[in-house]
Structure 1
Amino acid sequence: MDVLTKEQRRKNMQNIKATDTKIEIILRKALWKKGYRYRKNYNKLPGTPDIVLPKYKIAIFCDGEFFHGKNWNILKKKLENSNNSEFWINKIERNRKRDDEINKRLFFEGWTVIRFWGEEIKKHTEECVKVVEETIFDQNIVE
């Protein structure tokens, strides 16, 4: 494992984007190709979902594994032994709590929330699209 200097790490962290990330673009292109029209980074909803299908009231979030704490118990143990561990543990725990609150608010407002992990989108894009399509299909049955 390469050990980065503080300056290298700082530069890497500054280059992490909040919108139009690689995983968002992959999923958006796949949805567009299937004929689904959406809004991106929709700031009229809580949490500014990455992709919104207004016609179906579906809000999609493309979450990075690190910042949103995938396998949190394992990641937390690794972070406890790292530099600036208190900062990172607090940050990721706040992100996880905020994600949960946003899910609840959107659900309360009548939206369906779908969250995908970045690796899931990269490695299994078609399956992610199928999840969206099944959600739309399920809604149409209910209506």
Structure 2
Amino acid sequence: MTDIVSAEKRSEMMSGIRGKDTKPEIIVRRLLYRLGYRFRLHRKDLPGRPDIVLPKWRKVVFVNGCYWHGHGDCHLFRAPKTRTEFWTTKIASNRARDQRNYAELVGAGWGVVVIWECAVSKKLQLPSDQLEQVISDALASTNELIVIRGR
């Protein structure tokens, strides 16, 4: 299937997609702040430049977009129908890089919490009080890696 917009317009659209301060990330940050957690953002000295860093608790939080990080059985992830080889490779390398970063952080003594976009998106969002409880439990946990998914 051919793209319905020009290559220049598609490039402009793709360059407008943010890597920081996304809606799901802001939702999680507001929730954490409301719960009394204080944090730092995007620390460059940590592997993967985590979205949220809670130094007091030695925890980092990644808010992963379901599409860009290839969230398997999620309605927000659909394999592209054009340039499939490029996108399959791209998403697979994103996933591999994520795993390396998580392992490095755990090896350095950090706890890692991964919150998928579908956990905070409007369609599959967990109820607000339930999401608060799940995130609080994750931050209080001694587990090295915790993943929070949508319903």
Summarize the alignment of residues 8-23 of structure 1 with structure 2, pairs less than 5 Å apart: 8-23=9-24
Paired residue type of 1:130: Q
Partner residue, 1:116: 115
The change in CA–CA distance for 1:4 and 1:46 in structure 2 (over 3 A counts) is: same
Output the TM-score relative to the length of structure 1: 0.82
Paired residue type of 1:105: E
Partner residue, 2:100: 101
The change in CA–CA distance for 1:43 and 1:10 in structure 2 (over 3 A counts) is: same
Measured after TM superposition, the shift of residue 128 of structure 1 is: 3.8
The change in CA–CA distance for 1:110 and 1:128 in structure 2 (over 3 A counts) is: farther
The change in CA–CA distance for 1:65 and 1:53 in structure 2 (over 3 A counts) is: same
Measured after TM superposition, the shift of residue 126 of structure 1 is: 4.1
Structure 1, gaps ≥5 residues long = none
CA RMSD of aligned residues (A): 2.1
Higher relative contact order (CA closer than 8 Å, sequence separation 6+): 1
Output the TM-score relative to the length of structure 2: 0.78
SS at match of 2:141: helix
Partner residue, 1:48: 49
Measured after TM superposition, the shift of residue 20 of structure 1 is: 0.7
Structure 1's consecutive aligned runs of 4 or more residues displaced over 2 angstroms after TM superposition are 6-12, 124-132, 135-139
1:130 aligns with 2:126: no
Paired with 1:12 and 1:42, the residues of 2 have a C-alpha distance of 27
8 Å contact 1:40–1:50 — kept in the other structure? yes
Measured after TM superposition, the shift of residue 84 of structure 1 is: 1.3
Bigger proportion of residues as helix: 1
Paired residue type of 2:28: L
Structure 2, gaps ≥5 residues long = 143-151
Measured after TM superposition, the shift of residue 133 of structure 1 is: 1.5
